[in-house]
Structure 1
Amino acid sequence: MKTKYSCLAMSSKLSLVKVLRYPCLVFFIVSDPITQQYEQLGTDVVLKCESSLVGIEWKHNGIWIHHNTKMHENGQQLTLMEVKKHQAGTYSCHDPENKKVLSVVELHLGFPPQQMNVQCWASQYPEKINCTWDIWPDTHLRTTFISTYRLGLAAPDPLNECVQFDINPYSCQIRDYKMFADLPYLVNVTAVNPLGSLTVLHHFFVENIIRPDPPVNISLYPVHPGSNVLLLQWSPPPSWPQLDYFPLSYLIRYKRTGAKQYRTVGPYERTSFLIMGNRPGSTVHAQVAARDFTGMGLHSDWSTVVIAKL
């Protein structure tokens, strides 16, 4: 085995370890593959050197290791006590006489998936259902997800893929589903990384999770110069696909200068609203939310706030 120090990364048939030192980049080139080792943060970790020599010496990211109470050698092993995140990286063991590389371990530290929350919303009803999830605490490791769904809570209903997209790996989309189904849909999301896996089940009735995106293009201004009547206008959310067949209704909330709470009115089918009874010099804040015309599901989040000063 040979140790090569170079400021350039050049290797064709040999395994190449990550950059180990700056500004001159230091590489180890070894004939055997680098061992990938995954361990949990906060635990004791044992690294093994593939050699029978005694008095092995170790480097971490190209720097000789100085032993302390949290790190010690035992023959061909290096033990790291209660490992912290900064201790991840490349470990190489060396011949104590000529300092040649004996073997290399790439240590990855993190956690298995521990907790996950899954939510699904039909913000593009009746065409698509979007499911999202978040996982905590951070695993600090590359975590992949498997997402499926079925109609009904048990077999024999077939499993279908909830399609994931690279743009957001914490989400998937359901496009093939039945409206007004008598049975709930069951979404199954499994998080997987080298330290473990976690599966969460989430069920829903489609019509209960209808929730449009907020309205857009909100504006608020006097109906004519000098008027104390304000005209609030907006546009439907562009993600809502079939307004002609599945119209939306709207809630409006507004408050004037000095008011502690918003006043909420609606729902209305139109996309404008007159706010009257305003005093000269007052300031009005207003927002709009959308909901399926039939009242199924929930209303959207409130739109951005618009402000008009008289």
Structure 2
Amino acid sequence: MHSWGSMHGVCVCAVILLLQGALAGESESLDSGAPHVNQVLCWSPKYPVAVLCAWSLQPEPLQPTSVTATYRLGLSGKKMTCKVGPGPLPGPLPITAPGPLAGLLSGWCEIEHLELFVLQTYIVSVSVENHTGQYSFILEHIVKPDPPLKVVVTPGSRRQLSVKWAPPPSWPDPTLFPLKYRVQYTQEGHAPRTLGPYERCEVVLRGLRPRSSYSIRVSAQDFLDNGHPSDWSLPISAHTT
């Protein structure tokens, strides 16, 4: 497994590159013209209910291609089917997804009913023809909420901005599995400042410069620091009085 960023750092998801090799019992090189699994990425925007896995194929298939996705808990676990989803990915692909995956998303599947707080790793295998890509994870390590929504910024009294937002709707139960939030604001022409974490979905930014333009965005993270923070919400512009 190749870790793309620190497991407990700012971001981001890990990537498993294709386990490339000769076909079983053969030593010839693989046909470079046939599609193969280039990268596999898994993350959990719906913790603890489900995990999404996505992959890219290279070269891009010119006709419909059969892809099989399976998962198991540990090397000896029972192999289960990760049902390949129809249509587009149900939610945003993490901004930090590597280039080939972000540029050419070939398919995705969703895994439900995973066990919580187990030390064994889940192993996801994505196969097309004779090529297989794999991704291994511990559920709590790949938690990554979607960004908060409905960010609203309102000028308050002099040198203040009131910021409110809503939890990402994909997060199943903010009551039993709460989120915490960080708010980043940037004055035009200055470096950004990040505040938090906050447990509530609102904060008042104080001590700002009067009659100045600011850009504000919000990030969410599992309250117990499982996994990684979400990507930042779309920036909202506001002006102090």
Structure 2 length normalisation: TM-score?
0.76
CA drift at 1:251: 1.1
Structure 1 residue 221 corresponds to structure 2 residue 154? yes
* Partner in structure 2 of residue 26 of structure 1: none
Structure 1 residue 111 corresponds to structure 2 residue 33? yes
* Partner in structure 1 of residue 14 of structure 2: none
* Partner in structure 1 of residue 216 of structure 2: 286
CA drift at 1:306: 0.3
Work out which of the residue numbers 114, 135, 145 in structure 1 matches 2:57: 135
CA drift at 1:283: 0.3
Of all paired residues, the percent bearing the same amino acid is 34
Distance 1:160 1:283 in 2: 53
Distance 1:119 1:178 in 2: 19
Structure 1: any 5+ residue segments left out of the alignment?
Answer: 1-109
Check the 8 A contact 2:44/2:52 in 1, yes or no.
Answer: yes
* Partner in structure 2 of residue 179 of structure 1: 116
* Partner in structure 1 of residue 17 of structure 2: none
Distance 1:139 1:281 in 2: 55
Distance 1:120 1:304 in 2: 23
Distance 1:186 1:176 in 2: 15
**1:115-136 CA distances to partner (integer Å, 9 max, x unpaired)?**
5111111110111111111223
* Partner in structure 2 of residue 295 of structure 1: 225
Structure 1 length normalisation: TM-score?
0.59
Check the 8 A contact 1:111/1:139 in 2, yes or no.
Answer: no
CA drift at 1:309: 1.9
Larger RCO, structure (CA 8 Å, separation 6 or more) = 2
Distance 1:136 1:272 in 2: 44
* Partner in structure 1 of residue 186 of structure 2: 255
* Partner in structure 2 of residue 11 of structure 1: none
Distance 2:210 2:173 in 1: 41
Distance 1:165 1:201 in 2: 18
TM alignment of 1:229-240, pairs within 5 A? 229-240=160-171
Work out which of the residue numbers 191, 194, 203 in structure 1 matches 2:128: 191
Q: How many residue pairs get matched?
A: 192
Structure 1 residue 209 corresponds to structure 2 residue 146? no
Distance 1:251 1:276 in 2: 15
Structure 2: any 5+ residue segments left out of the alignment?
Answer: 1-31, 89-105
SS of corresponding position for 2:175: coil
Check the 8 A contact 2:69/2:82 in 1, yes or no.
Answer: yes
Check the 8 A contact 1:113/1:135 in 2, yes or no.
Answer: yes
Distance 2:182 2:63 in 1: 43
User: Aligned AA for 1:191?
Assistant: V
The verdict on how the C-alpha distance between 1:142 and 1:135 changes in structure 2, with shifts beyond 3 A counting, is same
CA drift at 1:111: 3.1
CA-atom RMSD in angstroms: 1.6
SS of corresponding position for 2:38: strand
Distance 1:144 1:215 in 2: 35
Structure 1 residue 307 corresponds to structure 2 residue 237? yes
**1:118-167 CA distances to partner (integer Å, 9 max, x unpaired)?**
11111101111111112233232322210000000x23x21001112212
User: Aligned AA for 2:166?
Assistant: S
Work out which of the residue numbers 52, 60, 78 in structure 2 matches 1:158: 78
Q: Which has the higher strand share?
A: 1
SS of corresponding position for 2:84: strand
Distance 2:166 2:113 in 1: 28
Report the structure number with the largest CA radius of gyration: 1
SS of corresponding position for 1:165: coil
* Partner in structure 1 of residue 176 of structure 2: 245
The verdict on how the C-alpha distance between 1:116 and 1:208 changes in structure 2, with shifts beyond 3 A counting, is same
Check the 8 A contact 2:37/2:127 in 1, yes or no.
Answer: no
Work out which of the residue numbers 192, 206, 210 in structure 2 matches 1:276: 206
**1:263-303 CA distances to partner (integer Å, 9 max, x unpaired)?**
11211111111112222221000110100000110000100
SS of corresponding position for 2:116: coil
CA drift at 1:200: 0.6
Check the 8 A contact 1:111/1:138 in 2, yes or no.
Answer: no
